[in-house]
Structures are given as structure tokens and as C-alpha cells.
Structure 1
Amino acid sequence: MIRLTLSQMRRSVGRLAAAGVAILIGTAFVAVTLVAGNVVTRTTYDSIAAQYTGADLVVRGVPMADAELDAVRGTAGVASADEQLLSFQQLEHGGRTIYQGVLAEPTDPAVLPLEVVAGALPEASGEIALPADVAERLDAAAGDTITLVRNVVDDPDEGTYREVRERLAVTGTLDDPYGAYSMMGGAAVAPAADVTAWEADLSAPGDVPSEPSTVLVTLDDPADLEDARTAIAAAVTNSAASTGADAAGLDVVTPTEHAETVANEMTGGDNVIFTTFVLVFAAVALLVAALVIANTFQVLVAQRTRTLALLRCVGADKAQLRRSVLVEAAILGFVSSVAGLVVGAGLAQVALAVGRGMDLGVPLPASISVTPAVVLVPIAVGTLVTLVAAFAPARAATRVAPLAALRPSDAPTAARGAGRVRLVLSLLVAVAGFGLLGAGVVLSTAGGEPSLGLMVGVAGGVLSFVGVLVSTVFWLPGVVALAGRLVGASGPTARLAAANTLRNPRRTAATSTALLIGVTLVGMMSTGAASARVTMDAELDGRYPVDVMVSTDLAGSPEDAQPVPAGLTGTVEDVAGVATVTEIASTTAQVAPEGAGAGEATDLPVRGLDPATAGEVMRSTEMVAPLAAGTVVVPEELSEDYGIGDGQTVTLTGPDGALEATAAVTDLADDGLLVVPDDLAAIDAAAATTRLWVGLDDPRDAASVVPDIQDVVADTEAPADVTGAAVERAGFQQVIDTVLAIVVGLLGVAVVIALIGVANTLSLSVIERRRESATLRAIGLSKGQLRGMLAIEGVLIALVGAVLGVLLGLVYGWSGAAAALGWAGEPVIAVPWRDVLLMLAVAAVAGLVASVVPARTAARTSPVEALATE
């Protein structure tokens, strides 16, 4: 039987190719999905840990004096250990001034997250490498000399500083490929000794570091990471103990562990939803492929009816015939799955190379990770799905009567009606699923637990979709019949095509269902993406309420800052892409909270903001909504650091008086407190404008507008820092749009597989109606009309599946967006009309194209030959 099976496969290679393509696409989809999951994880971790690039271990959590740093360097197995030190300095050249972060150059360049564009890194004191855009803004290149303007403690007792000007030689320009320092416009690099000295000059003699340090450690090749981790922790703890320092917060982690911690904080410590989300795509592709494979084997069994019957006549039993079909399926599944794995891995590598070339702003790896799961899962699943899909046709092969080989093969009758039990169960599952879907939306949007609402919503979506799919055999043929009656008015050919779709309701339902699955998922993601994009825009507005900030209080001390130069506000307003600019006056006040649990009095920046004009420059005013006379808005971070509780009475004492106000704690991202302008004037009547809040016309243009703002600011005499939160926001939007585009593209693969099923169904229809088609030809139906009949049939099956898929996709997309993003506020419902119309158009055209080959086969058959009795 094996030889016979192989012989039959050689004779049916054309028909098997269709099923093989479906399996290949499905398993390639699985491989791409698994690879994509690995890439997404690696990319996410690499983005979070971009500042730790190249380090084997990161030592953090405690201040690191020279003794502790030497202890790390002296640990066995440590190749290098460098403190990640960033110093903000004023740079001047050609009449322009820029305030720039300067990173201490590490001993090992591998831990530097910046790349040299031109020139080289500094090698000696008095040298500096600049970000490429900063060098361009200063009109400086490698070999030029720029001026560093910095402050040095003059009188520690009086707290006064003197200005020092130094000349630095530019050695090269740098790029920040992964956005490690994007919020500050990149980072310059100078020798570690210089940066350390600059920072030391800002402190009084004898001062010890109080802020936690970050030390990047690289290990020797033979060194064991865990042994080195333990030894470093012990060395730092012992060194701190010998000097009386506190090492309780010491943490020694790998960059990946750091990224995992941050990612868990972002996802609530649960990555199950993400994993499930990724694997759903593979399951969808394989489910659609299974339906196509089942239809393909039905075609094969129908073609071999006489052959199978003759085999029964010569002694083959049912088990042998069943094994023959299953062996054929196993061989086809294995070969196609291997091919799918190769194609999928190749496509993933090509996509990775293209993505790296497009400079998406995320640290994409150079090559895919081929893990055992990536190799074994697609092959095993592809082969298993093929066997399962072929099981029903294999059973059909065993029911072929031996006498069938001796009589003409009439067209089969319509399939038996489905059972009432199946109808009732499928309806119950669908109703229960839609109920859970609604409950998930309510749980997520009603202020409950978002993760619980999402899980309930996902469970409801899966259940309802299963119920809909199982019940399609009962109602889908009726929908096709209704659509057929609508097109039947165009002539007898259309009426025949509509009638043909009902000849085998089960197969028509299965084929249309395959397309329905793909279109539903594409529609769901398109609708969810449109709704999520609008909803996430609102969330990003809250996270980044001010697009760009120009600041002259560079160290966060308004009393030491120069006022914003006269005319700068108007100059920034004139920059193309800038919508509005608001001036923020600042002072320094002693803040003394009152009541139980209050922190000690401390000096903090206090800024004035008019609530009436906040909405003109802020994208979300929610964080400053409590701002009013007698109220001080306290950023949550300052509230925790200085013991200022929400609703607590706070006394602000400035140069001109004291103000008693009520604290309102919000998640505003700022290093100072906010009051209304009149309250600011009560404590400091001469408070100067030290910040400009800048709103852009479109935050997506931040990457081009922010450099223009930096250019005009660099032309002023006063040093000013330009930070563009909108740049990071635009990066988030780009990543979201890119991921959604990839997801929709992957789901489009399921539609392609489903369209192969449409072609297979029409092919089987041609085989079953061979004598009928011959009769129609004999009584006057032309070849063109016969082809037209099959074309209408293909378009009907494709369009019905597509329309129903679009409707279901809208429901699931809206519900999914509401359940997933309910935590971000009121979800916005959006309809992606362009995508909807495109899906319907593609389905109609594809249904027409799928009918071409079967129609040619039907038209080539001679009426006399088809009617002849063999």
C-alpha cells in the first residue's frame, strides 16, 4: 500500500500542491510567529536596557565611592567596571550655546550605547565627542575646538559658584541608535577623569555621594556569571561596612534581568496575555489551513472513487484504505511543514534585515534566534493538523462500495443535515461567549481590575467565536442562498451558481468559514487598532502633556538660573510646527508640610501656571486640574521623597512672604511644585520666567520640529536646555503603528490560505457536477456561461465569508479595544472604513481569481465524454 500511496501522490501532485501550499503557509506563519515572539521579547528588553548595552552585570542601588568601585574592579573575573556618570554642561561654538549631557567614557567601549558616526572617541583629557545633530547645530566637526562653560564651588559656606571656561577638542560625532538618551537629545562623551572632575567641582570638599550609582561590569571570558555576581555583592557590602556606609539597597543584575523587572512593572508582572496573544495568530492560520486541507482531501477522495472501489474489489480492506489516505497526509504534512519552516525563518530574517535598514528606532537584533521550539513546533503541529484534517476524508474513503467501480458515478447528494444537539450546544456556547465578552468590557471600564476584565473578555471572545464557527453549518448556507437570490435576478447563469452553492452545504459552509476566520481576525485587528490608536493617543497625552520644554534653570534651582532671554518666546513660536508657547515663572521656596507623617522642611522649585491657559499648551490638563488659588500641585515623586501627602497643609516660604496651601498630589512629571501665578507672586514678586512650555501642531512631527527649536535656542546667550518628550511619544506611536501593521499583515496570510480553500471547493464542485455540466453544455450553455457560473459561485462564497467576517471583526475589535484599554479611560470606538472596503474588494477579486482554474477544467471537458458511461 505504501508503493500505491506514493504512486497516487505522484499522479495527484497538482491537487496536492494546493494543500501543500496551505500547510506551508500555515507552518511558515507558526515559525514567523514564534520567531517574532523571540524578536519582540529581545527588542523590548534591549530597548529598556539600552543604557546598559554590552555590560555583563549592572551594580546599582547604593552610592559608590572610590573604595566600593575599587572593590568591584578587584573582584576575581571582572574585566572592567565603570560608573555610568552623566554630567550636564554648557557648550559654546560659533555664537551658539547648547546645554548637553556628557557621558563619562567607559574603560570598555562595548558598554557604550552610542555609535561613532565620524572621527573617534576621546583618548585624552580635554577632548569630547558630540552627538551628530549637536555638532551640526554648533557647526563643529572633528578637529574643531569648542568651549565648555561650567560652574565650580567658590565658597562652600556661602554656597557661591564661579564660572570656568575651558577649551575642548572635538574628536568625533556620535549616534544614539536605540534611543538610550533620546529624552535629552543624545549624549556627548568625554574622558571619565574629566567628567568626574567636573562633577566633583560642584560639591564641597569632603562631600560623599548620596545618590545611588550605576556601575557597568564586564567579565573575563572564563568567568562564571553567578560566581562573579556573588563575589561582587560581597565585595561591595564588605567595603561599605568598613566605611560605615549602607549597602542595604545593593542589587547586582544582568541587563536582561533589569529589563525583565521593568517589563513586569509595565505589564503588572504577567506576560501570559502577551504570549497567548502571539500564539493565537499561529492557531488561526493552522485552523484555516486545516479546513483547506480537509477540502483538498475531499477532492482527492472524490477523484479516486473508482480507484478506491477497484482496490476494494481486489481485496484491500477498509483499514488499508484509511491508512493509505493518512500516510499520504502524513508525508504531505511533514514535507510541507519543513518547507514552511524554512520559508518562515527566511522571511523572518529578511524582515529583520529590512527593519534594521529602516531605522525604526528600536534595537532589532541582527539575526533570528533559532531555538528548538522554533524548529520542532511548526513541523510537529503542521504534520498533526494535516493528519487531523485528513481523518474525515480517510473515513469517507473506507465507505466507498466495491460496486461503485462498476457503475457510473452520479453527483453526490447534499450532505445530511446537522444534528439538533450540535445546534443547541453551539448556540449556548455563542450566547455565553458574547455574555462573557460584554462582562469583560464592563469589568475593564468600570474601574475594576483591568487584567481580569481582559482575561474574561478574551475567554468570551474565544467561546463566542467557537460557537459561531460550529453553528455556521446551520445558518451560513441560508445566508449564501439569500445572497444567491439577490444576484439571481441577473440571469439564469447566476441562479445556477446560487443553486450550486447549496449542493453541499457542509462544504460551502466550511470554505466560507475558512475565509470568515481570516477576515474576522483581520477586521478585529484593524478595528481594534483604529480604536486603540485613538484611545492610546489620549493616554499618551496624559503621559506627555507638554510636547517640548525649554529651560534655563538647568540644575533645577530657579534662583541660580538666568531668565529666559527677551524675545525667545516669540522666536520659538515662529518655528514651523509650533502651535503655542507658555511662559513659566519659577522661584525656590522652603516647603514645610504639616500634620502627622509630614516630612522635614526643604527647599524646592515652585512654578506658576495659569489654569486658564494650561489647556492651550498641555495635551492633557488632568494632572493640573486641582490647580487653584490656595492649592499647590505636588508631583507624586516629590510627594514620596519629601513626605507631602494629598490634602495636607503645606507652607511655602519665599523671598517676599509665606503662603499656606493645600497639597494636591498628581502624577505630573516635573521636578517642582505648581501654584497659580498670584500665589507665586505672594512668595516671590520678582519670580523670573525660567521655562517655556511648547505645544506642537502634531506631536508626530517632533523629530523634525525639536531640532529647529534647539537651533533657535542655541543662538541665545543664556544657556538653555531643550527636552522633547514628544520625541519619545512619537517613538511610541511609531512602534505601535509598526506592530499593528505587522499583525494585520500576518493575519492577511490566513485570508490567502482561505482563498486556496475557495479554489479547492470549486474544483471539487466541478468533479461532482461533471455530468451535470456536460448536460448544460449539451442543451446550449456556452463555455463562457459555464465559466461565468463558476465565477459567480466563487465570488458568492468569498463575499459572504468576507461580509460576515467584517461584521464579526467590528464587534470583536470594539470589544477587545474596550476590554484591553479600559484602564486608560473611556475607550473610543472607531471604524476603519478603508480597511473594511479593501477587505471586501480583495475577497471579491480573489473569489473571482480562484474560479479561473476550475472553470477552465470544466470548460475543457467534452459534453459527449462526460455523458458517456464508462
Structure 2
Amino acid sequence: MSSGSTMRRVSLRNIAAHKVRLFLTVLAVVLGTAFVSGSMMFTNALSSTFDEAISSSLDGVDVVVSPGENIDGIPVETVEEIRARDDVANLNIDASQSIVLATEDAKAIQTGSGTSSLGIFYDPAEAVGMPYQLGEGELPEGTEEVLINDSAVEEYGIGIGDTLLVVDSGGRYTVTITGTTTLEEEAASMGGIRLAMSEEAYTERYLDGETVPTVIISATEGTDPQALVDALSTDLGPDYQIETGEALVEEITGVIRDALSFVQYFLVAFGLIALLVGTFIIANTFSMIVAQRMREFALLRALGVSRPQLTTSVVFEAIVVGLFGSALGVLGGMGLVAAISAVLNNLGMPMGSSLGLTPAAVITALVLGTIVTVISAWAPARRAGQVKPVEAMRAIESTTVRSMAGRTITGGIILVLGIILAIAGAALEDSSTTTRAIMVGFGALFVIVGTFFFSPALSIPVVGGLGRILGAPFGAVGRLASTNSRRNPRRTATTAFALTLGIALVTAIGMLSATMKEAVSDLMEEQVSADYVLTGPSGGSITLPREAAGDVAALDSVSEVSTVGANLVDIDGQSSFVGGPQSMSFTADGNIGELIVAEGVEGTLDLTESGFIASKPFAESAGWELGGTYPLNAAGQPIGEVELVGVYDENMVLGNFMVSEASFADTPLEGRTIPQLILANVAEGVDPEQARADIEDAVAEYIVVKVQSSTEYAGETVQIINTMMNILYALLALAVIVAIIGIINTLALNVIERRQEIGMLRAVGTGRGQVRTMITLESVQIAIYGALVGMLIGLGLGWAFVTVMSGEGLDAPATVPWGQLALMLLGAAVVGVIAALWPAHKAAKTPPLEAIAD
């Protein structure tokens, strides 16, 4: 019997003999590992899709020439010089413009998840990279004739000869479709509409006539791409960024992988949360299984099995369950990726055929799932090894309050320490945000760990009280359910704790969401006095048409109008924010002070003339003084000087500083501002609704301009926050689902353990319906207890994090989402009922005589 192989056979037969136990334990492992492996596989598949698209789009491109940091574009003369070189076969301008399309009667063409763009068509003999072929029709001539991709013809019902309205940041104009373009099947599967015109027409319509953004080159036969790069670098000098197409592919795919790694970490984090919740479930399951098998372990000990052998056998069972569950989790992850890919394909966002299955995704899931399962089973395995043959023959539950004294005291100390850390992190306003966030983070960890240890003692009065309240309408059955829930506080607390973790996270995020929405509403109410806000497409594919502001300003029903935008400019080396490789700063025109509410204003906020305004803290840090004149730079080169005409207290809408649009007159940046929004006030004595109608009529021809009141604009921002938070809630739902399975798991094993007791109740006249009610009430009590504790933890930690974030611009008091809390409490009760369905049904079917005889 001392043989290790014999004990392994016993363990394997035990696992096979208790299929329900196996299924319930494995399920918790599967859910956690499926999400971890699925997250890794999804980002791998996404990366592979992007890699393929980039590689195919740059296939045949030998060299790419782009402007460096010190120049805005490649001069047309330089482009022609490159084109005339003996070692250059073909040169194409690499440029594309995001647009919105509409029919002749100004009805926008909806492309769903696809995009609309306008680029340059090159004859295949002159094309560099992936060439478009002319399908049907004729080549376009001039700025009002274009080709359209053939897939759009079929999808959107647009044909040769049709006239379309094109809306871009410069305004709108009409074009006629003269023909179609075709691509290879793989590339053509991308959704959306792609128009193309000749190089000459595109240059006239969208470029300044002096420079182009980027050129792609194919080398002549026999010329090495790297040799061409070296030759061009020598001839053109250091102002240009010149690299091979292959190097650019590696560079872009590297950037995409880095960007997608965040997505992977984000998703894996939620998978680990689910796995953490599953840890408590697995530990609870093994604890119950070990408790139910005490007689079996005692018999093995009596037959000569040593303590280490018993412990090892339980750990071996955990390894088998962990490996099996993790392997199923990998398959589940593949299923998740396949499902997501199918959905994205149907939405016009093809993912390719790759499922992203890599050794790393498989090994990580297998190792994580197995380690978590073994750790969860370690304490129960040690208890199994400590069984004494004679004592274990008695099936007595000995859990008492006194036996939990050490655990309760330890938990209380850790819990208090966590609360102190969290409060200190929130209260130390003079410390850095990072330091405060770390303190709150450690406080959160200690609170969660402390709650886990302290929860059994807390559950005795709380669950007992809940049991009496919930069980009151059910008489003796309700009182019995209350007694049963209190009888094993360790089990009750551990079962509830899985739900506690999930609810705590949901509550904390709910508080953050509510506070952010409140902050946005307060911000718009307190800092935006404009009657109407005009914005462009929500997707950001194109900006506001520049002429729209002039049309609005010309209305008699409107007084002040200002366009807020951004331009590639800095003042004395300082910029409002970094946009891509170059610095960008906010711009405005008109008297912005009439449209934005700012406190502590000194000087003026009127940006009608040349000048700029800045917040007092930023001006002080930059060394700027009111009335001082400072250099205005574009791409690192001076283009003029501007005066600081006004300063104000910190203001979220105005930002660090704003430059007047008039400052760019007669400079290379004139007309280069990217409009973000237009603010407008209603003229005195004019009905606001009439003014709105006038504004809507004035911008109707631009199709893409949306007119909203400041309240409506704030509501749209709140909706964006809701969308972001809903994604988080959807991911956290995984942890809650795992917690629900934990309750089902515990109840099912509890029913097996209490088979004799339930049989006795049935024998003395308890009906099946009453047994079902008893088990359901126990489940509801556990679920509500877990939810209440989770809400308290979530509210506390949510308050601490929101308070810390107030130093990062979230200037609003922590808001409690009472409605959400009420729904979660109701949801917890429903969860309890649902979780009890199968265990209650199983308990009700217990045969009285057989159960008593067991």
C-alpha cells in the first residue's frame, strides 16, 4: 500500500468515481484559464491580421522617404529630382484623405465600421506596392472625377456615372464616378469606400502645391533597396527620414505589437481576476471533498498509508484536475477567439484565419491553471494527511467561533491596516499621485486579504440576521435555512467571498464611472457658457469643415462664435500636448472669454488679434509673464512672436494655453489648423430654438456637423464614459459568473455531504418543496451576504481611488451609484435563486430511507 503508484491509482479512480465533483471543480479552472489563454490568442490573431495587411500594402515598396522633424513636407522639386534618378523605377505620392460621402440629395452614405477615403490612382505600370487595377469605365480627369473600389459598388449600390457629395475638413464638393478599381481578394475584403483621383488632381485639391507628405519608391532592376537608401540619404541630407520598405514594415508592426500588448495585458488582467475568484472556489471545493472523504482517508491510514502519502495523493488529484481544466480552458479560449472573429467578420472587420494559437498562450494557461489548483488544494491536502484513523471515523463538524479566534484576530489586524493605508493614501494631498495610488493599492490588497480571514466571524451575525429576515415568511423552513447557513461559517464565508471580490470590483468601477460623469456634467455647467456646441463626426475620421464657423458667424441670430482647434505649433518650446511625432497646441479665434467661464482672469481672453492666453500654473512653470512676448515655432523653426495677453486659473476646457488663430497669419501654418469644435452664443433677444434652427440650416450642406446644446454635448461625453465602463462591466461579469458557479458548486457538495440529514428531514414529513425552499434560502443568504460585503469594500476603495485621482483632473466629489447598488443587491438575490436550482432539485429528490441507511 506504501507504493506511490498504488496511491496514484487510488487518486485516479477516486476522480473518475465522483464525476459531479470533478465537473464542478474543473469548471472553475476552465473559466479562468479560457479567458487568460483566449486573451493572449486574440491579441496574437489581431497582431497577425495587422501584420498581414501592412506587409501586403507595402509589398513591392523598396524605399520610403518621409520628412524629418525639422520640415513639414517633401518639396515638389525634390520629388521630381528623385523621380528622375537612374536607380528609381517608379515613385508614388503616399497620401490619403478621410472623407464623408453623401448622395446628391445630401443623404450621408453610412459605411458602418468601414471608412471612406480618397487617394491617388496610379496605372499599374507606374504603381509602387500593391497596384489597383482599372476595372470597368474610364480613368478620371480633374478634381471632380474619381474611381471607386468595386466592392463598394456592390455593397452600397453606387455605380459608374453617379454623382456624390464629398465632405472633408475643407468643405464639400461633388464628384462623378467614371470607373471602378479592383484589388486582390484578400485586400478587397476590407470594408468601406475608397475613391481615387489622378495625382495631379489630388495635389491640386489636397496639397499645398509646394510639398508632399511621403513618397514610396521602387528601385530599378538590380538595385539593392539598402543601396538606394544610402544613396538618397547622402544626396538629400539629414532632413529626411529614408528607410527600406522592409524596415518600415518591421517598424510599424513593432509599434502595433506594442499597442496591442496593452490590450493583451488589460484582458489578461481580467482573466487573472476570474482565476483569483476561481482560487477560492477550488479551495472551497477541495476542503469540502476532503471533509466528505475523512472516513476514506482514515481507512487508508489504518491500512498503513503514511501522512505524506495521503497529502501527496490529494495534491496529485489537484494536478490532474488543474491540467485537465487548463487544457479545456485552452480549447475554450480558442472557441472565444473563433466566436469574436466570426462577429468581427460579419461586422466588416475581417480578422483573417489565424486563431493566434501559440506555445506561449497554451503553456501560460496550463501552468497558471495547474499552479492555482495545486495552491488551492494545498491546505485541504495537508488536513487530509493529518487525519488520525480513530478520530476521522466520527463525522462531526467541529467548526466553532473559538476555533476561528486566531484567524479572526489576524484578519482584523490586516483589515484595519488596509483601511489605514487606504485612508492615508487618500488624505495625503501633499504627496505625489503615484505615491498615494501605491498606498491605496496596498491598502486594497490588505483589505481584501483581511476580509477573507475576518469574514467567517462576520458571517455568523450577518448571515444569521439575513436568514431571520428572509426566512420569516417561510416559518420553520426559513429558521432551519438560517441555522444551516450559520452552522459552517468558514464554508459560508469562503463561498460568498468569490462573489464579494467580483461585486467589490464592480462597485469601485461604478463609483469611478458615476464620479466621472458627475465631473463632466459639472465641467460643462460651470466652465462652458456657450449656448451651442458644433462638432464633427464622432468617429473622428474627418474634422469640422473650416468654412462652417464663418457661415455660423454670419447669422444675425448668433453673437459670439469661436472655433477651437489644434495646430502644429509651440511657444518657446512649450506645447499643449504631443500629437504624433510633432508638438501641437490648442488654438481659438474670437473672444473665447464670452463662451468659456474662467476664474481669476488677468488681462483678456479675447483672441481676435494675435496673442495667446495661458493658465497661471502653466505660465509660471514656463517662466511666462503677462504682457511678455515669446517665440512662436513650427516644426522647431521660429515663425514669429506672440504676446501673452491673458492668464486664468486652471481650467479644463481652456487647457494649459491657447494661441489665437490670427497669430498664424502670413506664416506656413496659416489655414493648417485642425478644427475640433465651434462654440456659439445666441444673440440677445433671439429665441434659442430659432437660433438653433438657423445654425442647423447654415451647416446643413456640410452634412457632418452636429449642433448640440452644452447639456447635450455633455450627455454625449457621458455616453462615451458609459460605453467604456460597460466594457469593463462585461469583463468583470466573468468574475461574477465564476462566483455564481462557486455558489452552485458549494451547494451541490453541501447537499451530497448532508444527504443523511436531508433524508431524515424527508422521513419526518418535510416535503420536497420545503427542501427546495430551504436550499434556495441558504443560497440567497450567502449571495446577499457576499454582495453586501463586496459593496462595502468597493465603496471604500472606490472613494479612496477617486480622491487620489482628484489630483489628476477628476475634480468632483466621490459619487455613490445608489441605483446601481440597489440593482446589484437585487441581482445577488436572483443569483442566489438561480444558483440553487440544481442543488435544490437534487436535494428534493433525496430518497429518505436510502439516505438514512448511508
Query: What is the TM-score normalised by the length of structure 1?
Result: 0.68
Q: Partner of 1:413: helix, strand, or coil?
A: coil
Asked whether the 8 Å contact 2:472–2:479 carries over to 1, the reply is: yes
Partner in structure 2 of residue 838 of structure 1? 823
Partner in structure 2 of residue 602 of structure 1? none
Partner in structure 1 of residue 645 of structure 2? 663
Task: Confirm whether residue 190 of structure 1 aligns to residue 197 of structure 2.
Answer: yes
Q: Partner of 2:487: helix, strand, or coil?
A: coil
String of CA shifts for 1:540-559, please: whole Å, max 9, x gaps.
99999953389xxx99999x
Paired with 2:9 and 2:722, the residues of 1 have a C-alpha distance of: 53
Paired with 2:45 and 2:65, the residues of 1 have a C-alpha distance of: 23
Task: Confirm whether residue 627 of structure 1 aligns to residue 605 of structure 2.
Answer: yes
Task: Say if 1:92 and 1:335 are closer, same or farther in 2 by CA, change over 3 A.
Answer: closer
Partner in structure 2 of residue 509 of structure 1? 493
Name whichever of 277-286 and 13-22 sits farther off. Answer: 277-286
Asked whether the 8 Å contact 2:499–2:739 carries over to 1, the reply is: yes
Could you tell me which amino acid in structure 2 is paired with residue 382 of structure 1?
G
Pairing 1:249-648 to 2, within 5 Å after superposition: 254=248, 257=251, 278-355=267-344, 357-358=346-347, 368-403=355-390, 409-414=394-399, 417=402, 422-441=407-426, 449-487=432-470, 489-490=472-473, 491-535=475-519, 546-548=533-535, 564=550, 569=555, 583=561, 607-609=589-591, 611-612=593-594, 614-615=595-596, 626-628=604-606, 634=612, 647-648=626-627
Pairing 1:103-122 to 2, within 5 Å after superposition: 103-105=119-121
Paired with 2:519 and 2:774, the residues of 1 have a C-alpha distance of: 46
Give the C-alpha shift of residue 535 in structure 1.
4.0
Asked whether the 8 Å contact 1:437–1:458 carries over to 2, the reply is: yes
Paired with 1:439 and 1:78, the residues of 2 have a C-alpha distance of: 66
Name whichever of 777-786 and 83-92 sits farther off. Answer: 83-92
Task: Confirm whether residue 84 of structure 1 aligns to residue 94 of structure 2.
Answer: yes
Task: Say if 1:825 and 1:403 are closer, same or farther in 2 by CA, change over 3 A.
Answer: closer
Task: Confirm whether residue 59 of structure 1 aligns to residue 66 of structure 2.
Answer: yes
Task: Confirm whether residue 142 of structure 1 aligns to residue 160 of structure 2.
Answer: yes
Paired with 1:113 and 1:740, the residues of 2 have a C-alpha distance of: 40
Query: Identity over the aligned pairs, expressed in percent?
Result: 27
Asked whether the 8 Å contact 1:585–1:607 carries over to 2, the reply is: yes
Paired with 1:800 and 1:80, the residues of 2 have a C-alpha distance of: 72
Task: Say if 1:289 and 1:737 are closer, same or farther in 2 by CA, change over 3 A.
Answer: same
Task: Say if 1:851 and 1:52 are closer, same or farther in 2 by CA, change over 3 A.
Answer: same
Paired with 2:218 and 2:53, the residues of 1 have a C-alpha distance of: 19
Paired with 1:413 and 1:761, the residues of 2 have a C-alpha distance of: 19
Asked whether the 8 Å contact 1:581–1:695 carries over to 2, the reply is: yes
String of CA shifts for 1:717-760, please: whole Å, max 9, x gaps.
xxx89767999999987775444323212221222222222233
Give the C-alpha shift of residue 105 in structure 1.
4.1
Task: Say if 1:218 and 1:59 are closer, same or farther in 2 by CA, change over 3 A.
Answer: farther
Task: Say if 1:238 and 1:765 are closer, same or farther in 2 by CA, change over 3 A.
Answer: same
Give the C-alpha shift of residue 496 in structure 1.
1.8
Task: Say if 1:33 and 1:441 are closer, same or farther in 2 by CA, change over 3 A.
Answer: farther
Could you tell me which amino acid in structure 1 is paired with residue 826 of structure 2?
A
String of CA shifts for 1:633-667, please: whole Å, max 9, x gaps.
52789x99xx996623569xxxxxxxx97524765
Paired with 1:392 and 1:527, the residues of 2 have a C-alpha distance of: 36
Could you tell me which amino acid in structure 2 is paired with residue 142 of structure 1?
I
Give the C-alpha shift of residue 790 in structure 1.
1.9
Task: Say if 1:630 and 1:247 are closer, same or farther in 2 by CA, change over 3 A.
Answer: closer
Paired with 1:536 and 1:377, the residues of 2 have a C-alpha distance of: 41
Paired with 2:554 and 2:53, the residues of 1 have a C-alpha distance of: 35
Task: Say if 1:435 and 1:713 are closer, same or farther in 2 by CA, change over 3 A.
Answer: same
Paired with 1:540 and 1:119, the residues of 2 have a C-alpha distance of: 52
Give the C-alpha shift of residue 796 in structure 1.
0.6
Paired with 1:536 and 1:130, the residues of 2 have a C-alpha distance of: 42
Partner in structure 2 of residue 238 of structure 1? 234
Asked whether the 8 Å contact 1:143–1:169 carries over to 2, the reply is: yes
Match of 2:727 among 742, 760, 764: 742
Paired with 1:815 and 1:117, the residues of 2 have a C-alpha distance of: 62
String of CA shifts for 1:449-487, please: whole Å, max 9, x gaps.
545544443333233322322322332333222323434
Partner in structure 2 of residue 30 of structure 1? 36
Asked whether the 8 Å contact 1:37–1:278 carries over to 2, the reply is: no
Number of matched residues?
Answer: 746
Partner in structure 2 of residue 20 of structure 1? 26
Task: Say if 1:479 and 1:221 are closer, same or farther in 2 by CA, change over 3 A.
Answer: farther
Could you tell me which amino acid in structure 1 is paired with residue 465 of structure 2?
L
Give the C-alpha shift of residue 518 in structure 1.
1.6
Give the C-alpha shift of residue 837 in structure 1.
3.2
Asked whether the 8 Å contact 1:352–1:367 carries over to 2, the reply is: no
Q: Partner of 2:357: helix, strand, or coil?
A: coil
Paired with 1:630 and 1:568, the residues of 2 have a C-alpha distance of: 16
Task: Confirm whether residue 4 of structure 1 aligns to residue 10 of structure 2.
Answer: yes
Could you tell me which amino acid in structure 2 is paired with residue 609 of structure 1?
N
Paired with 1:272 and 1:756, the residues of 2 have a C-alpha distance of: 30
Task: Say if 1:693 and 1:387 are closer, same or farther in 2 by CA, change over 3 A.
Answer: closer
Partner in structure 1 of residue 239 of structure 2? 247
Task: Say if 1:374 and 1:477 are closer, same or farther in 2 by CA, change over 3 A.
Answer: farther
Could you tell me which amino acid in structure 2 is paired with residue 458 of structure 1?
G
Give the C-alpha shift of residue 40 in structure 1.
8.6
Paired with 1:661 and 1:831, the residues of 2 have a C-alpha distance of: 45
Task: Say if 1:386 and 1:190 are closer, same or farther in 2 by CA, change over 3 A.
Answer: same
Partner in structure 2 of residue 686 of structure 1? none
Give the C-alpha shift of residue 392 in structure 1.
2.3
Q: Partner of 1:501: helix, strand, or coil?
A: helix
Could you tell me which amino acid in structure 2 is paired with residue 520 of structure 1?
A
Q: Partner of 2:486: helix, strand, or coil?
A: coil
Could you tell me which amino acid in structure 2 is paired with residue 524 of structure 1?
A
Paired with 1:691 and 1:820, the residues of 2 have a C-alpha distance of: 26
Paired with 1:28 and 1:351, the residues of 2 have a C-alpha distance of: 14
Flag structure 2 segments of 5+ consecutive residues without an equivalent. Answer: 1-6, 109-115, 168-172, 183-191, 565-570, 573-586, 631-641, 648-653, 666-674, 683-691
Asked whether the 8 Å contact 1:106–1:192 carries over to 2, the reply is: yes
Paired with 1:855 and 1:92, the residues of 2 have a C-alpha distance of: 60
Task: Say if 1:168 and 1:844 are closer, same or farther in 2 by CA, change over 3 A.
Answer: closer
Give the C-alpha shift of residue 393 in structure 1.
2.4
Query: What is the TM-score normalised by the length of structure 2?
Result: 0.69
Asked whether the 8 Å contact 1:334–1:383 carries over to 2, the reply is: yes
RMSD over equivalenced CA pairs, Å: 6.3
Paired with 2:335 and 2:852, the residues of 1 have a C-alpha distance of: 49
Task: Say if 1:400 and 1:822 are closer, same or farther in 2 by CA, change over 3 A.
Answer: same
Q: Partner of 1:402: helix, strand, or coil?
A: coil
Give the C-alpha shift of residue 25 in structure 1.
1.0
Pairing 1:218-237 to 2, within 5 Å after superposition: 234-237=230-233
Paired with 1:282 and 1:89, the residues of 2 have a C-alpha distance of: 39
Could you tell me which amino acid in structure 2 is paired with residue 214 of structure 1?
T
Q: Partner of 1:412: helix, strand, or coil?
A: coil
Could you tell me which amino acid in structure 2 is paired with residue 239 of structure 1?
D
Give the C-alpha shift of residue 673 in structure 1.
4.0
